[in-house]
Amino acid sequence: MKLAELQKRRQRIAKALLDGADPYRICRDERISWSTVYAIARVAGVQTFHRTRAPLPPLKREFHAVTIARAFDVLAQLRPGDKSLRQIAVVVGVRRQWVGQIETLAIKKGLLSPREDVKCTDTTKS
């Protein structure tokens, strides 16, 4: 780019920042680094902003559907009370910690009664 083009680009970015544009979007759209946007903002007199992490994208409906389906599978396996958390995790395909968290929530909400410890006879590790 020529010097005049760079200057116009910087002015365009400065105007966008003054209008309240998202600096992350400017970085992505203009394909420039964060430090360049920050420097343009300082020169333009825009109130300096601290770099924070970009927000996470919203979860998709499919993800929620799969998660809820697995949670109900875990609850169905916990109901009889004859399997250990490890066995349930292997059958459903989730982590053992997740099964324990679902069990704790179900007990707190009154969906399950506390059960005695079930010894794991399964030799596979999850």
Question: Per the domain annotation, does 30 fall within a domain?
Answer: yes
The pLDDT of residue 114: 82
CA angle 17, 48, 22 (to 5 degrees): 35
Q: List the domain range (segments joined by +) for residue 27.
A: 3-44
Question: Per the domain annotation, does 114 fall within a domain?
Answer: no
Chain segment 45-72, per-residue pLDDT in tens: 887 666 556 665 565 666 666 788 888 8
Number of domains forming the structure of the chain: 2
Q: How far is CA 26 from CA 1, 23, 29, 79, 90, in A?
A: 18, 5, 5, 52, 45
- Closest to 98 (Cα-Cα) out of 111, 88, 108, 107: 88
Q: Do 67 and 103 share a domain, yes or no?
A: yes
Q: Do 65 and 104 share a domain, yes or no?
A: yes
